[in-house]
């Protein structure tokens, strides 16, 4: 899409404006603790939401040539969406998203004065309770608002919107592609969700919410994932089952490759990252267990020394091996273990 020299020029010019600093300089003696959403005080929840709203409103500094990128958040969304086939269902899925989460958390701190730590959403708690649509994560006051509602609007992209919570009725520009999910563009639409159990619609055309497929992400599934003895088997199930189903049952902006538009993306991926960290157990064997392929066609074998693609989003090209341990290199955090 872009020539290498073009990208290099952009990377060099963005070095001057470098503002994102790594959370750690390599000596992680006092890791910050990422907590489950329910473990936060209401004050801590409000502080995270404040910062997440803030990041959506800041003007972009990168991707000047891309018309659809107008905010700091758009830069994250654009990068994830453009790289989609290079970072999903390939070996780097977990380390890439670990890097991305850290970058987002650093942005919340440096750009929006965030004082807390990235929370995670342990959806297996809601799955075990068989009460996913009523998860406290969707609370209109202390959470992220709930399902989208039909608005009666006939304007494309405005027919179904999230109408409660801190992100209600906000407009997004990088499209999730209504009416075509697979075509990305610079399309104005309201922030939306469309809870579903992948069972289609009833006779009135209303989406069937059902149980939201809780058997795909309950603690039973997670225990099966923790039972794998190798990275490839573990990640295949983690990405393919609970990770993918959470995107799919919330749907709307959470569905397509522009899913970082959905603020829950970061809490969802923090939980996916927690599952990997938990599986690793800071066990020396598992901290270096990395294998698979860099392409969907499985022609290029992955190596722990691989650089990960980031387009213009960062100043330093991250290397997989620096993202294996959450308490070493550029990282310095740990997770509470809610389940
Ligand atoms: C890393 O950071 C710690 C804590 O701020 C500091 O004490 C230490 O000197 C730093 N080390 C290097 C190599 O910069
Ligand atoms: C979102 O866009 C719609 C359609 O252009 C507009 O009517 C509405 O005022 C916008 N809302 C916000 C919060 O900017
Ligand atoms: C790490 O875990 C593996 C798999 O359970 C085990 O075989 C190995 O002995 C462990 N290594 C260390 C250093 O604890
Ligand atoms: Cu992703």
The CATH topology of domain 35-335 is di-copper center containing domain from catechol oxidase (1.10.1280)
**Low-confidence winner among 41-55, 90-104, 112-126, 188-202 (lowest mean pLDDT):** 188-202
What are 227-282's pLDDT values in tens digits? 999 999 999 999 999 999 999 999 999 999 999 999 999 999 999 999 999 999 99
Report the separation in Å between the CA atom of 75 and the middle of ligand 3, taken as the mean of its atom positions.
40
What are 42-100's pLDDT values in tens digits? 999 999 999 999 999 999 999 999 988 999 999 999 999 999 999 999 999 999 999 99
pLDDT at 181: 63
User: Regarding predicted confidence, which is higher, 202 or 51?
Assistant: 51
Provide the sign of the torsion angle of the four alpha carbons 224, 229, 231, 232, taken in this order.
negative
Answer whether 27 contacts ligand 1 (Cβ < 6 A).
yes
d(CA 123, CA 218): 7
By most ligand atoms within 8 Å of CB, the mutation choice from 22, 25, 31 for ligand 1 is 25
pLDDT at 16 over 60: no
Residue of the CA atom closest to atom 14 of ligand 1: 25
Report the separation in Å between the CA atom of 227 and the middle of ligand 3, taken as the mean of its atom positions.
13
pLDDT category at 4 given cuts 50, 70, 90 is very low
Answer whether 25 contacts ligand 1 (Cβ < 6 A).
yes
pLDDT at 128 over 80: yes
Q: Are 212 and 220 in contact (CB under 8 A)?
A: no
Report the separation in Å between the CA atom of 192 and the middle of ligand 3, taken as the mean of its atom positions.
44
Residue of the CA atom closest to atom 11 of ligand 1: 25
Report the separation in Å between the CA atom of 89 and the middle of ligand 3, taken as the mean of its atom positions.
26
Angle at which helix 72-82 crosses helix 93-112, to 10 degrees, equals 170
The binding-site residues of ligand 2, defined as CB within 6 angstroms of any ligand atom, are 169-171, 188
**Low-confidence winner among 59-68, 108-117, 152-161, 173-182 (lowest mean pLDDT):** 173-182
What are 277-329's pLDDT values in tens digits? 999 999 999 999 999 999 999 999 999 999 999 999 998 999 999 999 999 99
d(CA 197, CA 212): 4
pLDDT at 7 over 80: no
Report the separation in Å between the CA atom of 65 and the middle of ligand 2, taken as the mean of its atom positions.
24
By most ligand atoms within 8 Å of CB, the mutation choice from 168, 171, 192 for ligand 2 is 171
pLDDT category at 12 given cuts 50, 70, 90 is very low
Mean pLDDT of all residues in 138-162: 95
Report the separation in Å between the CA atom of 215 and the middle of ligand 1, taken as the mean of its atom positions.
46
Percent share of the chain, pLDDT over 90:
81
Report the separation in Å between the CA atom of 285 and the middle of ligand 1, taken as the mean of its atom positions.
28
Nearest atom in ligand 2 to the alpha carbon of residue 171 is 1
What is the pTM assigned to this prediction?
0.89
Mean pLDDT of all residues in 135-152: 97
Nearest atom in ligand 1 to the alpha carbon of residue 25 is 1
Residue of the CA atom closest to atom 9 of ligand 2: 171
Nearest atom in ligand 1 to the alpha carbon of residue 26 is 1
pLDDT at 21 over 70: no
Tell me which ligand sits closest to the C-alpha of residue 86: 4
Residue of the CA atom closest to atom 1 of ligand 2: 171
């Amino acid at each position: 899409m872009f020539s290498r020299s073009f990208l290099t020029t952009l990377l060099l010019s963005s070095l001057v404006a470098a503002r994102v600093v790594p959370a750690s300089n390599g000596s992680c003696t006092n890791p910050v603790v990422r907590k489950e959403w329910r473990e936060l005080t209401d004050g801590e929840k409000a502080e995270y939401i404040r910062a997440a709203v803030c990041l959506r409103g800041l003007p972009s500094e990168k991707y000047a040539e891309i018309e659809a990128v107008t905010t700091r958040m758009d830069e994250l969304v654009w990068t994830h969406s453009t790289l989609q086939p290079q970072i999903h269902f390939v070996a780097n899925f977990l380390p890439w998203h670990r890097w991305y989460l850290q970058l987002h958390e650093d942005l919340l701190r440096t750009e929006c004065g965030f004082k807390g730590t990235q929370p995670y959403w342990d959806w297996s708690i809601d799955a075990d309770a068989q009460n996913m649509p009523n998860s406290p994560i969707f609370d209109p006051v202390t959470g992220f608002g709930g399902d989208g509602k039909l608005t009666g609007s006939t304007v494309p992209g405005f027919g179904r919107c999230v109408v409660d919570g801190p992100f209600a009725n906000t407009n997004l520009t990088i499209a999730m592609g209504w009416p075509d999910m697979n075509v990305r563009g610079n399309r104005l639409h309201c922030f939306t969700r469309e809870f579903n159990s992948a069972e289609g619609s009833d006779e009135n055309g209303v989406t069937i919410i059902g149980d939201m497929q809780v058997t795909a992400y309950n603690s039973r599934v997670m225990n099966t994932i923790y039972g794998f003895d190798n990275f490839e088997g573990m990640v295949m199930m983690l990405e393919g089952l609970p990770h993918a189903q959470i995107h799919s049952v919330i749907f709307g902006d959470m569905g397509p490759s522009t899913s970082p538009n959905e603020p829950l993306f970061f809490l969802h991926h923090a939980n996916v990252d927690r599952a990997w960290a938990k599986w690793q157990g800071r066990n020396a064997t598992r901290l270096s267990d990395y294998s698979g392929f860099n392409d969907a066609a499985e022609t290029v074998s992955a190596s722990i020394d691989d650089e990960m693609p980031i387009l213009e989003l960062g100043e330093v090209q991250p290397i997989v091996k620096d993202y294996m341990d959450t308490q070493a290199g550029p990282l310095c955090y740990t997770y509470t273990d809610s389940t």
